[in-house]
Amino acid sequence: MYAYDTFDRNIIDARVAEFRDQVERRMKGELTEEEFRPLRLMNGLYLQLHAYMLRVAVPYGTMSSKQMHRLADIATKYDKGYGHFTTRQNIQYNWPKLVETPDILTELADVEMHAHQTSGNCIRNTTTDQFAGATRDEVEDPRPYAELIRQWSTFHPEFSFLPRKFKIAITGAGQDRAAVKWHDIGLILRKNTEGEIGFEVIVGGGMGRTPVIGKTIREFLPEADLLSYLEAILRVYNEQGRRDNKYKARIKILVDALGAEEYGRLTEAEWHKIKDQHIDVPEEEVARIKAFFTPPPLPVLSDDVEEVDTFARENFIFKSWLENNTNPHKVLGHVNVTISLKPHDGIPGDATDAQMHFVADLAEKYSQSEIRVSHEQNLILPHVAKKDLPEIWKALDANGLGSANVGLLTDMIVCPGMDYCALANARSIPIGQAIADRFDDIRRLQDIGPLKLKISGCINSCGHHHAGHIGILGVDRRGEENYQISLGGSGAEDATKAALLGPGFDEHGIVDAVEKVVAVYLGEREEGEEFLATYRRLGPTPFKEAVYDAD
């Protein structure tokens, strides 16, 4: 993992001191709320429906046990004993007091964490594959580049006041678990024929009211040129992105207006002017950062472990968990374990302080003190020896974290919705819970197989419903909550937009609709065919008929 040096340390300490001063000026009345607002937003502090909300960055979703323990302590001391892991691999606290927020930032800085660039119209926390550096299907670990981007984008003198927020995602694996094509900039690590590392550069993806899948403007960008190229993309956007209407201010709208080809041309022209201006860091710096991400020295073991197989034969839930919640590691005999934060009746992504401490302890024992957060709001223990799995699962299960539903229908992304969010049109969490209630049998879920269900409480799409195999959107219909269902979206390498199936439903009707959709799939699927493939083969008609014709 990356560790701060004196430079990083001084910068973060100065930032905390600055924020403490700003909060003091606010408390003394020297700053009005209007003046304070942009300053607090630069530090991840939002004003929500009931209280302030502090969003803390987990840079590229990687943290240590020590950091997780600290997040738990903060939840105990400054919040109501829990935190919420988000689709941006961050954690949110829903109940901090304004006066205490500088202390929270101090405690975070102490473990090399921060809350800047988790809000405001700046370059946000770069997200990546939750299995980065540990998964078998990877070209190269994306995290050193994410760290490079983190540093370059921190308090950028030119790009801290963009037309709108700006999100970058990067993956190094063949299977895209970071939804890179749905981001303002998506980067895919590639090797060219000479074996050199570089990036495919994708721009203009995004959700919200105008969902767009990003377009490739460069097939191969040498790794040494990453930052100058990003700077060129950002300069074009900062100058030409719309500022008259916040719904049209994201880069996707500009890319659409100019055309991806023209956007690429403008970027290339700008890049050629600036590529030798010392924007990119020296080679030694890339090497320095990469050294922090050297894979842990794991012994090569066998992938077949007798005890694991025996226990799986005896315990169906463990067998499902093994199948769904583990991902093959680079080193034989190891896996990456996903801990589902979607327990039955829980709030997706929420973790209590006790659970956070518990996961941090597990990581110390089994995963090199390393923990990841996925954009699907789960926690990951990377680098786990396969032989430890029965023990780990038993411990998780005893702590209410043994759910085997990763990748299945109840492993949903659900935005906070009306329960927390000031922008919401409808509740999301209770809808997710009602669906989970309807599908509470692991055998049934296992039979249905991989299915991504995503729920947003308004068109801002924080719940990624556009990318859901089944996407649900809460809207306001003449003062009533109404839920629309869309099918066929994907956030993976074959990214597609989900298509609206028809008119919406009330909160009960939507649960029935999901069940009918699933029933059509079960009836029509071919041997081994997953939900998305069946939908793509059949199109919407049979689903539409089942959902709307019955009554």
Partner 1 sequence: MTLINLSGIHSETYRELENDELPATGESVLVSLGQLQENSTSIFELTSSVGVIVNTETPYADLEEFVGRVAFVDIRFPVFGDGRGFSLAVRLRKDFGFKGEIRASGHVLPDQALFLLRAGFDSVDAPDERHEAFEAALKRFGAFYQTDMIGHGKSVAHLRHSADKDKSATQKAG
HEC assignment per residue over 356-420: HHHHHHHHHHHCCCEEEECCCCCEEEEEEEHHHHHHHHHHHHHCCCCCCCCCCCCCCEECCHHHC
Pairing relationship of beta strands 52-56 and 326-328 according to DSSP bridges: unpaired
Considering CB distances under 5 to 8 angstroms, the limit depending on partner class, which of ligand SF4, partner 1, none binds residue 156? Answer: partner 1
What H or E segment, with its residue span, contains residue 52? strand 52-56
Give the C-alpha separation, 247 to 264, whole Å: 23
CB 533 to ligand SF4: min, Å: 28
Q: Return the number of the residue (174 or 222) whose C-beta is nearest partner 1.
A: 222
Site for partner 1 in 116-145 (CB under 8 A): 121
Considering CB distances under 5 to 8 angstroms, the limit depending on partner class, which of partner 1, ligand SF4, none binds residue 421? Answer: ligand SF4
Site for partner 1 in 281-300 (CB under 8 A): 281-282, 284-285, 288
Site for ligand SF4 in 364-423 (CB under 6 A): 415-417, 421, 423
Q: Return the number of the residue (11 or 533) whose C-beta is nearest partner 1.
A: 11
User: Does residue 264 touch ligand SF4 according to CB under 6 A?
Assistant: no
CB 307 to ligand SF4: min, Å: 43
User: Does residue 34 touch partner 1 according to CB under 8 A?
Assistant: no
CB 300 to partner 1: min, Å: 35
Q: CA separation (Å) from 20 to 96, 252, 402?
A: 15, 36, 41
CB-based contacts of 340, cutoff 8 Å, min separation 6: 325, 378, 401, 403, 404, 405, 406, 411
For residue 189, list its beta bridge partners: 199
User: Looking at residue 217, what DSSP letter applies?
Assistant: E
Give the C-alpha separation, 53 to 80, whole Å: 12
Q: Return the number of the residue (202 or 458) whose C-beta is nearest ligand SF4.
A: 458
Pairing relationship of beta strands 480-487 and 470-477 according to DSSP bridges: antiparallel
Neighbours of 132 (CB within 10 A): 28
Considering CB distances under 5 to 8 angstroms, the limit depending on partner class, which of partner 1, ligand SF4, none binds residue 39? Answer: partner 1
Q: Could you tell me the two tokens for 267?
A: 């970027």
Pick the piece of the chain touching partner 1 (CB under 8 A) from 58-66, 238-246, 353-361, 523-531. Answer: 238-246
User: Does residue 446 touch partner 1 according to CB under 8 A?
Assistant: no
Q: Could you tell me the two tokens for 16?
A: 């905390």
Q: Indicate the SS3 state at residue 183.
A: coil
Q: Return the number of the residue (18 or 364) whose C-beta is nearest partner 1.
A: 18
Site for ligand SF4 in 426-445 (CB under 6 A): 428
Please select the residue that binds partner 1; options are 35, 219, 262, 268, rule is CB under 8 A.
35
Considering CB distances under 5 to 8 angstroms, the limit depending on partner class, which of ligand SF4, partner 1, none binds residue 417? Answer: ligand SF4
Please select the residue that binds ligand SF4; options are 125, 456, 490, 534, rule is CB under 6 A.
456
Give the C-alpha separation, 200 to 190, whole Å: 7
CB 418 to ligand SF4: min, Å: 7
Q: Return the number of the residue (218 or 235) whose C-beta is nearest partner 1.
A: 235
CB 19 to ligand SF4: min, Å: 24
User: Does residue 275 touch partner 1 according to CB under 8 A?
Assistant: no
What is the secondary structure of 444-511 as a DSSP string? HHHHH-S--EEEESSTT-TT-GGG-SEEEEEEEETTEEEEEEEE--B-STT-B--EE-SS-B-TTHHH
CB 416 to ligand SF4: min, Å: 5
User: Does residue 186 touch ligand SF4 according to CB under 6 A?
Assistant: no
What is the secondary structure of 231-283 as a DSSP string? HHHHHHHHHHS--S-GGG-SHHHHHHHH-HHHHHHHHHHHHHHHTTSS-SPPH
Q: Return the number of the residue (420 or 439) whose C-beta is nearest ligand SF4.
A: 420
Residue carrying structure tokens 């919640």: 325
239 CB-contact burial (10 Å; exposed 0-12 / middle 13-18 / buried 19+): exposed
Considering CB distances under 5 to 8 angstroms, the limit depending on partner class, which of ligand SF4, partner 1, none binds residue 423? Answer: ligand SF4
CB 505 to ligand SF4: min, Å: 18
User: Does residue 365 touch partner 1 according to CB under 8 A?
Assistant: no
Pairing relationship of beta strands 62-64 and 370-373 according to DSSP bridges: antiparallel
User: Does residue 266 touch partner 1 according to CB under 8 A?
Assistant: no
Neighbours of 59 (CB within 10 A): 24
Contact (CB, 8 A) for 159 and 153: yes
Contact (CB, 8 A) for 121 and 165: yes
Q: Could you tell me the two tokens for 493?
A: 């390498």
User: Does residue 158 touch partner 1 according to CB under 8 A?
Assistant: yes
CB-based contacts of 299, cutoff 8 Å, min separation 6: 331, 333
Pick the piece of the chain touching partner 1 (CB under 8 A) from 102-110, 151-159, 428-436, 519-527. Answer: 151-159
User: Does residue 457 touch ligand SF4 according to CB under 6 A?
Assistant: yes
Judged by CB under 8 A, the number of residues near partner 1 is 44
526 CB-contact burial (10 Å; exposed 0-12 / middle 13-18 / buried 19+): exposed
Please select the residue that binds partner 1; options are 98, 139, 274, 522, rule is CB under 8 A.
274
CB 348 to ligand SF4: min, Å: 12
Please select the residue that binds partner 1; options are 23, 39, 54, 123, rule is CB under 8 A.
39
- Residues binding partner 1 (CB under 8 A): 5-8, 10-11, 14-15, 17-18, 21-22, 35, 38-39, 42, 121, 151-163, 235, 238-239, 243, 273-274, 277-279, 281-282, 284-285, 288
- Residues binding ligand SF4 (CB under 6 A): 415-417, 421, 423-424, 428, 456-458, 460-463
